[in-house]
A and B are shown apart, each in its own frame.
Chain A
Amino acid sequence: MEDAVTAKDGLLPGGRDVPFAQIEATLARLVRDGRRRRGAPARALLATVIAVGVQERLTAAAEALEQLGDVGVRAILISEGTHTNPVARVTEHSIAIAGLAPRYLNNAVAALRLSSLPAAVWWRGGSVEALDDLADLADRLILDTPDPDDVWAKADGLFEHTVVTDMRWPALTRWRAALAHLFDLPQVQRDAASLQRIEIDAKDVYAARLYAGWLKSRLRWTDAVAISIKEAAGDAPTPLVRVRLSGKALKVTLQVKPQGSCLEAAVEGGEASTRIVPLGDGSLAALIGEELGVRTRDLAFEQALTAAREIHV
C-alpha cells in the first residue's frame, strides 16, 4: 500500500485533516458546531458536486462553490495522483482529497455523495478513462476543460450514461437567447433560409465552435453555409466577442457593448431592430450555479456538441 498523503497543499485552507473513514463523523461535528456558532439552522443541502481536476483548477472550483452561498451543496474536490490511502481535508460542507489514484475515484464518490439527492460531476480535467465510471454515479456530468477535444470525442458514449453538458454552454446562454429572440421577428424568419455565412470573433474558440454547432443543428445548415471563427481579445466575462450572420437579404450582428456588461443584438436592413440585454454574471460561480439548477437531458446541447466536433477552425 502506498503512503498516506494529506491535502496540505492548498485546498480548503481552514479545514481539518482526517482519515477517509472519519470524513462523515467530522462533517457532522462541524455542521453541529457551525449551527451553534451561528445560532441558525443549517442550510438545506440540495446536491453533491464532485469537482475533479488539477490543483489550481480545483482551487478556483472551491472558491466558486463557496460563492454559491445559500445554494447548499456538499462539495467534494478530488485531484488525481497515485495514492490509494489518502487523507482528506474537510470543512462544514466541503471535502478535499489530494492525489487519489484515478481507478478509485468512483469508490470515493460512491462513499461520500449524499444519498437521495442529485450528484453532479464537474470535470475540470484528468484521465478520461475515469469518466465512464463516474458518469454512472452522477446525475449530471459538467465538462469544463480548456482543451476538451478528448472528452468531446467520448461524448456520444457519455450521453447514454447520464446528463452531459459543457460549462461553455451556460456561458453561451445569453448569446443564444439574444439571437433566438431576433428569430421571432417576421423578416428574420422570412429570410433566415438565405443565410450564407457566420463569422465569430471569440476569446474561446471551443465556445465559438459550440455556438456555431448549435446554429448548424437547429437551422439544419449544410456545408453551404460558411463558418469562420477567429480568436479575438475582449475584456467582458463572456467567451464570444462578436457574431455576424449574413445572407443576401439578412444581416444580424451580436456584439458586446463597449462597457462590457451588455450585449447588443441588431438586425440590419428592412425593419431594422436592435435589442440590448445584460450579459449576465459570467463568473465561474454563476455558471456552475446555473448548471446545478438543470436536471433534465439537454438535447439541444447534445446536437450542438455533435455538430461542433465537425467544425474545424
Chain B
Amino acid sequence: MPNPLLDGLRIESTPEPTAFVIFGASGDLTRRKLLPAIYQLSRAQRLPARFSVIGIARSEMTDEQFRQQWHDSLKEFAGLEKPDDVSSALAGCMTYLQGELDDAGLYGRLAAKLKEAGSPAGVLFYFAVPPGVYGTIVERLAAAGLTKPPNADGWRRIIVEKPFGIDLASARQLNRLMHEHLDESQIFRIDHYLGKETVQNLLVFRFANGMFEPVWNRRYIDHVQITAAEVVGVEQRASYYEGAGALRDMVQNHLMQVLALVAMEPPIAFSAENVRDRKLDVIMSIQPLLEDARTSVVRSQYAAGWVNGEEVPGYREEKGVSPESTTETYVALRMQLDSWRWAGVPFYLRTGKRLPKRTTEIAIQFRRPPLHIFKRISPTAIASNLLVVNVQPDEGISVRFEAKLPGSRMQLAPVMMNFRYGSAFGRAVPEAYETLLLDAMLGDPTLYARHDFVEASWALITPVHERWAALAAKALPTYEAGEWGPEEADAMMAAEGRRWRTL
C-alpha cells in the first residue's frame, strides 16, 4: 500500500525495512566507505525506520567490538569525534557474525540473525571480499534459502565489488554462477565512478539541455580524451594489483563506463534498462583493440622518480611486487567507435599511477572553424573549442572559446567559461557510496553495471592481455614517476597530429 505521507515529502523516498549484511565486515572498504555512508544516509533520513546491519568476517569479534569498530570508523573517516545520538542509535542495530565463508553453518546462523532482526522485507548483501569467494557466498546463501524473499513484497539483493572476473571467460563463468541462483535484477555490480556527481551529471548535461546534443557528433567533434590520473603508487595493494594492472583496474570498468556515458545515444526515458541498453550499444560499437588498424594500445610501468615533493621507488621496487613484474601501471588507448554518430572520431583513454597530479576528466575537442578569417590580422592559429568535464577533484564543466582581446587591434585569445559544483551550488556533494547504497536498497540499478556490459567490456580487453602475455617484458616501456606517461603514448597521438592535454 503506498504511504500517503511520503507524497510530496522533500526528503526523498526511503527503502522498505532493510537488513544490510556485509561480508568482509572487518575490512578496509567497510571501515572507509560503507560504515560512513550508512551514517550519512541515516543523518539525511534516507534509511528506513527499521534498519539493521549484520557484519560477517573471519576475524573474531563480539557485537560490542563491531560497534566499537563502527564508532572508530566514523571518527576516522566521517570526522565524528565522539558518538552522537544518530550513531549511537544505529550502533544498537548492529550485530556481528564470525565464520568461514564456505561454512554452511554460518549461513544458518545468518538466517537466525535475520529472524531476530524482525525478518525485514529487504536484505542487501554486500560482498566486500575478494572476487574469488563470490561464487561460494552466492551458493551458500542460496542453499540456506536466503536469496529468495519470503513474500512478494520482499527483496533480496547483492552488491559485488570490482573486479567482476579477471577476463572474459571468468566474467562469463561468474555471471553464469550468479544467474543460477539469482535473477539479474538482484545483482548490483558496483562501480563507484558511476556514483560520482559529475558522472551522473553527464546525462543531465547532454539530455536536459537542447544546445549541446546537436553538436555532439562526428560533424563537430574532432576527438575525445578521457584521463584518469593518480599520484599514488601501488600502496598496500600490490598482491591485487600485480594480477590486475591498469587495464583491468581502471579501463575495463571505470573508463568504459565513462566512455559509454559520453558516447551513448539518448535513451527514450531515464530508466535503468533504457540507459543501460544505450550504454551497451556504445561498447558493442567499439572496434576490436589491436585487430583494427585504427586502434592502438600503449602500456607502461613507472620507474623511480619524484612525485609530490619526494623521491619514490619504481614499481618493481615496491613492497610485494616482483622484480620482474610486467604489470602495467599506465595504459593509453586509441579507440574507434563505428557508429553513425562517432565514425571517424577517435576516443583516447589514458590512466596511470604515479602521474604528476590526481585528476579525472573528459575533454571533448571540437573541430576548428573551416576558415580562419582573422589569419591576416591575427596569424596565430586559433585554438579549438574545448569542453572539459572535470570528474575529480574539482568537479565542474569548462568551455574554452576564442575571444577578442580588448583594444583597437583585432587580437584573439582563448578564454575559459567555468561552472564549478563547489561554488555554484554551495552544498556538499554526497559520497559515491551513499548514492549507490541507497539506490541498491531502493532497487534502482541505473548506476550499476549490467552483466552484458561487463562481458562486452571484457571481450574488448581480454585479447589485449593475451597479446601482452605473448610479448612478455621485452615490449614494456617505462616512464619516470612524476611524468605524464611514456613517450610511446605521446607518439601515438603525434602520429595523428594530436597531443595529450597538459593537465
CA distance A293 to B350 in the complex (A): 37
Min Cβ gap A72→B in Å is: 7
Q: A185-B50, A273-B50, A276-B86 are in contact. Are A180 and B9 (CB under 8 A)?
A: yes
Interface string of B3-27 (1 = CB under 8 A from A): 1111111110010110000000000
Interface string of A219-260 (1 = CB under 8 A from B): 110000000000000000000000000000000000001010
B145 within 8 A of A: no
Q: Assess whether B45 is in contact with A277, with CB atoms less than 8 Å apart.
A: yes
Interface size class of B (residues with CB under 8 A): 20 to 34
A37 within 8 A of B: no
Size of chain A's interface in residues, with CB distance under 8 A?
Answer: 46
CB contacts under 8 Å to A, within B401-420, are 418-420
Q: Which of A185, A189, A261 contacts B85 (CB 8 A)?
A: A261
Q: Assess whether B4 is in contact with A183, with CB atoms less than 8 Å apart.
A: yes
Interface string of A126-153 (1 = CB under 8 A from B): 0000000000000000000000000000
Q: Which of A41, A43, A293, A301 contacts B8 (CB 8 A)?
A: A301
Q: Assess whether A44 is in contact with B423, with CB atoms less than 8 Å apart.
A: yes
Q: Assess whether B118 is in contact with A181, with CB atoms less than 8 Å apart.
A: no
Q: Assess whether A184 is in contact with B423, with CB atoms less than 8 Å apart.
A: no
Q: Assess whether A299 is in contact with B8, with CB atoms less than 8 Å apart.
A: yes
Min Cβ gap B123→A in Å is: 16
Residues of A within 8 A of B3 (CB): 180, 183-184, 189
B425 within 8 A of A: yes
Q: A182-B49, A271-B118, A276-B89 are in contact. Are A43 and B5 (CB under 8 A)?
A: no
Min Cβ gap A230→B in Å is: 23
B470 within 8 A of A: no
CB contacts under 8 Å to B, within A23-56, are 41, 43-44, 46
Q: Assess whether A278 is in contact with B423, with CB atoms less than 8 Å apart.
A: no
Residues of B within 8 A of A43 (CB): 423-424
Main secondary structure of the interface of B (DSSP, over half): loop
Q: A68-B426, A180-B3, A183-B4 are in contact. Are A262 and B85 (CB under 8 A)?
A: yes
Q: A72-B426, A300-B9 are in contact. Are A174 and B1 (CB under 8 A)?
A: no
CB contacts under 8 Å to B, within A141-196, are 170, 173-174, 176-185, 189
CA distance A237 to B422 in the complex (A): 28
Residues of A within 8 A of B425 (CB): 46, 70-71
CA distance A109 to B323 in the complex (A): 72
CA distance A265 to B424 in the complex (A): 35
- With CB as the reference atom, state the residue of chain A lying closest to B51: A275
Q: Assess whether B49 is in contact with A173, with CB atoms less than 8 Å apart.
A: no
A197 within 8 A of B: no
Q: Which of B42, B420, B427 contacts A277 (CB 8 A)?
A: B42
CA distance A293 to B426 in the complex (A): 11
Q: Assess whether B9 is in contact with A276, with CB atoms less than 8 Å apart.
A: no
Best-buried of A70, A189, A261 by chain B (most CB within 10 Å)? A70
Residues of B within 8 A of A259 (CB): 85
- With CB as the reference atom, state the residue of chain B lying closest to A261: B85
- With CB as the reference atom, state the residue of chain A lying closest to B11: A177
CA distance A174 to B86 in the complex (A): 14
A63 within 8 A of B: no
Q: A70-B422, A72-B426, A257-B85 are in contact. Are A179 and B5 (CB under 8 A)?
A: yes
Best-buried of B5, B7, B16 by chain A (most CB within 10 Å)? B5
Q: Which of B8, B420, B423 contacts A300 (CB 8 A)?
A: B8
Min Cβ gap B4→A in Å is: 5
CA distance A215 to B5 in the complex (A): 8
CA distance A293 to B8 in the complex (A): 15
Residues of A within 8 A of B1 (CB): 189
Min Cβ gap B141→A in Å is: 25
B267 within 8 A of A: no
Q: A44-B419, A70-B426 are in contact. Are A177 and B9 (CB under 8 A)?
A: yes
CA distance A178 to B46 in the complex (A): 10
CA distance A43 to B419 in the complex (A): 10
Residues of B within 8 A of A189 (CB): 1, 3
Q: Assess whether A71 is in contact with B42, with CB atoms less than 8 Å apart.
A: no
Residues of A within 8 A of B237 (CB): none
Q: Assess whether B42 is in contact with A41, with CB atoms less than 8 Å apart.
A: no
CA distance A179 to B423 in the complex (A): 34
CA distance A273 to B118 in the complex (A): 11
Residues of A within 8 A of B8 (CB): 298-301
A103 within 8 A of B: no
B48 within 8 A of A: yes
B43 within 8 A of A: yes
CA distance A244 to B329 in the complex (A): 61
CA distance A299 to B10 in the complex (A): 12
CA distance A15 to B264 in the complex (A): 51
Residues of B within 8 A of A218 (CB): 4-5, 7
Q: A44-B419, A173-B11, A176-B9 are in contact. Are A181 and B4 (CB under 8 A)?
A: no
- With CB as the reference atom, state the residue of chain A lying closest to B427: A71
Q: Assess whether A44 is in contact with B17, with CB atoms less than 8 Å apart.
A: no
Q: Assess whether B17 is in contact with A72, with CB atoms less than 8 Å apart.
A: no
Q: Assess whether A275 is in contact with B5, with CB atoms less than 8 Å apart.
A: no
Q: Which of B4, B14, B49 contacts A273 (CB 8 A)?
A: B49
Residues of B within 8 A of A178 (CB): 45
Min Cβ gap B6→A in Å is: 5
Q: Assess whether A277 is in contact with B14, with CB atoms less than 8 Å apart.
A: no
Q: Assess whether B9 is in contact with A41, with CB atoms less than 8 Å apart.
A: no
A21 within 8 A of B: no
CA distance A178 to B42 in the complex (A): 11
Min Cβ gap B442→A in Å is: 12
A1 within 8 A of B: no
Q: Assess whether A41 is in contact with B418, with CB atoms less than 8 Å apart.
A: yes
A69 within 8 A of B: yes
Q: Assess whether B16 is in contact with A184, with CB atoms less than 8 Å apart.
A: yes
CA distance A271 to B49 in the complex (A): 12
Q: Assess whether A185 is in contact with B5, with CB atoms less than 8 Å apart.
A: no
Residues of A within 8 A of B48 (CB): 181, 184
Residues of B within 8 A of A170 (CB): 10
Residues of B within 8 A of A69 (CB): 426
Min Cβ gap A171→B in Å is: 12
CB contacts under 8 Å to B, within A259-313, are 259, 261-262, 265, 271, 273-278, 290, 293-294, 298-301
CA distance A178 to B48 in the complex (A): 10
CA distance A180 to B418 in the complex (A): 40
Beyond the given pairs A183-B3, A262-B86, 5 more chain A to chain B contacts, judged by CB atoms under 8 angstroms and listed by A's residue number, are A69-B426, A181-B49, A218-B5, A273-B49, A300-B7
Q: Which B positions have Cβ atoms within 8 angstroms of A?
A: 1, 3-11, 14, 16-17, 42-43, 45, 48-50, 84-86, 89, 118, 418-420, 422-427
Can you list the 4 inter-chain pairs with the closest CB atoms, starting with the nearest? A300-B8, A70-B426, A180-B5, A71-B426
Q: Which A positions have Cβ atoms within 8 angstroms of B?
A: 41, 43-44, 46, 68-72, 170, 173-174, 176-185, 189, 215, 218-220, 257, 259, 261-262, 265, 271, 273-278, 290, 293-294, 298-301
